Amino acid sequence: MKPAPFAYAKARSLDHAIALLDGAPDARVLAGGQSLVPALNMRLSTPSLLVDINGLRELGEISRRNGHIEIGALVRHAQAERSSAIAQLAPLLTQAIPHIAHPAIRNRGTFGGSIALADPAAELPACLLALGAEIEVTGRTGRRSVAADEFFKGLFETALGPGDVLTAIRIAVPGSAARFGFAELARRHGDYALVGLAAAGTVHGGGLADVRLAFFGVGDRATRARQAEAALESGNLDAAVAALQHDLSPHSDVHASAATRSHLAGVLLRRVAAQLDSST
């Protein structure tokens, strides 16, 4: 379990990082290294060059601007977990982050790394879907913003191109009627979820509007359950649970069968719906 040989370069600036990436099409960004380094050791990934972005301080900040909270790509999970700005303006994240791995991994692992990796069972991609976040990408042609709904393309596949660096995540500051819910089931504490659900909605009249249900662990990527969202907006929880049969296509693996995942998704939907309701 030793990595194949690779070159290493420490980026001095974002431009430098992009230039380095540009020079080697199979280069990889090194952020917290918590996913990339094991992949290198198992030779699942054999890039010729690692571009280390850990020195880019400007990517490590959490700030509030123009009605958004902006989270830099290099913000560590642990830093986000403790952030009072995030607790206040994006409480869904504060709820979700303790489920990511273990403290030692959260100390190194980064926000951007989790989003860029797009593990189908990871918490943060689903949270971004539920929050309708914008993902800022910087590449050779400059900066662009991608909506979370457009960002996750498939199994470990995203809208990031070869020379791109994910630089920040932007989340609109929620209004007072916004409600959030989060739950996941993992065999052991800190494991990737068997099934998880990050949800958001707005209290509207007696019910919920703008419901966004983002499941993880039940497909090749974090997935919105759109029919279930509609059913929940119309106040029919049973119909929402039934709709998951159409919305989700869970897989079987060594940890759980597709039938179990499907059943658990329904259980989680009931639990999270109660959270959305009880927080009214």
Partner 1 sequence: MKRTPDVAPIVTALDRPNSYIGRSVPRPNLARLTQGRAQYVSDITLPRMAHVAFVRSPHAHARISKIETTAAKQAAGVIAVVTGAELAKVMTPWVGVLTHLKGIKSAPQHPIAVERACWQGEAVCAVVARTRALAEDACELVEVSYEELTPVTDAETALDPTTQVIHPELEDNLTFERKHEAGAPDQGFAQADAIIETTFRFGRHTGVTNEARSIVADWNPGEQRLTVYQGTQAPHMMQNLFAKHLGLEEHQVRVLTKDVGGSFGIKVHTYADEMATVALAKLLRRPIKFVADRLESFVTDIHARDHRVKAKIGVTRDGTITAFEIDDLTGIGPYSVYPRTSGIEANQVVNLVGGPYTCPNYRARARVVFQNKNVMCQYRAVGHPIATSVTEGLVELAAAQIGLDPLELRRRNLIPDDAYPATGASGIKFEALSHHACLAHIDSMMNYAGLRAEQARLRGQGVHRGIGFAAFIEVTNPSAAFYGIGGARISAQDGATVRLDATGALFCATGVTEQGQGTEAVIAQCVATAFGVPLERVRVLTGDTDNVPYGGGTWASRAAGIGGEAAWQAGKALRANVLAAAASILQADPKKLDISNGVIVDADNGRERIGLDEVARVVYFRPDTLPPGFQAEMVATRHYVPRGYPFAFTNGIQASYLEVDTDTGFIKLLKHWCVEDCGTVINPQLVDEQIRGGIVQGIGAALFEHCVYDERGQLLNGTMADYLVPMAPEMPDIEVGHVVTPTADSELGAKGAGEAGTAGASGGIMNAVNDALRPLGATPITEIPMTPDVVLRALNKI
Ligand X SMILES: Cc1cc2nc3c(=O)[nH]c(=O)nc-3n(C[C@H](O)[C@H](O)[C@H](O)COP(=O)(O)OP(=O)(O)OC[C@H]3O[C@@H](n4cnc5c(N)ncnc54)[C@H](O)[C@@H]3O)c2cc1C
Residues forming contacts to ligand X in the complex (CB under 6 A) are 28-36, 73, 100-101, 105, 109-110, 112-114, 116-117, 119, 122-124, 160, 165-166, 190-192
Residue-level length of the chain: 280
Q: Which is nearer to partner 1, 6 or 91 (CB)?
A: 6
264 binds, among ligand X, partner 1, none (CB under 5 to 8 A by kind): partner 1
Q: 110 with 165: CB under 8 angstroms?
A: no
Q: How far is the CB of 277 from partner 1 (least distance, A)?
A: 18
Measured between alpha carbons, how far is 249 from 258 in angstroms, rounded to an integer? Answer: 8
Partner interacting with residue 273 (select from ligand X, partner 1, none; CB below 5-8 Å by kind)? none
For 123, the enclosing helix (H) or strand (E) is: helix 123-131
> With b meaning 16 or more CB within 10 Å and e meaning fewer, what string describes 190-208?
eebbbbbbbbbbbbeeebb
| Cβ 245 to ligand X shortest distance, Å | 26
Minimum distance of partner 1 from residue 254's CB (angstroms): 4
Indicate which of partner 1, ligand X, none lies near residue 109 (CB less than 5 to 8 Å, by partner kind).
ligand X
Residue 129 or 264 with smaller CB distance to partner 1: 264
Element (H, E) at 170: strand 165-172
Structure-token pair, residue 45: 């990934």
- What's the closest the beta carbon of residue 92 comes to ligand X, in angstroms? 14
Our measurement of the distance from residue 85's CA atom to the centroid of its chain's CA atoms, rounded to an integer in Å, reads: 18
Pick the closest to residue 165 from 113, 87, 120 (CA basis). 113
The CA-based dihedral angle spanning residues 158, 164, 167, 171, taken in that order and rounded to the nearest 10 degrees: -30
Nearer to partner 1, 65 or 254 (CB): 254
Q: How far is CA 29 from CA 35, 53, 221, in A?
A: 12, 7, 21
Nearer residue to partner 1 within complex by CB, 71 or 117:
117
Q: Which is nearer to partner 1, 14 or 105 (CB)?
A: 105
Relative to beta strand 28-30, strand 49-52 is parallel
Q: Provide, rounded to whole angstroms, the least separation between the CB of residue 263 and partner 1.
A: 5
Which listed option, partner 1, ligand X, none, makes contact with residue 237 (CB within 5 to 8 Å by class)?
none
Residue with Cβ nearer ligand X (125 or 250):
125
Among partner 1, ligand X, none, partner that 202 touches (CB below 5 to 8 angstroms by kind): none
In the list ligand X, partner 1, none, the entry touching 1 (Cβ below 5 to 8 angstroms by class) is partner 1
Q: Which is nearer to partner 1, 16 or 255 (CB)?
A: 255
Positions that interact with partner 1 (CB under 8 A): 1-5, 38, 42-43, 185, 187-192, 194, 253-257, 259-260, 262-264, 267
- Of 203, 80, 66, 51, nearest to 134 by C-alpha is 66
**Residue 256 is encoded by which pair of tokens?**
């759980």
On whether the CB atoms of residues 122 and 222 are closer than 8 A, the answer is yes
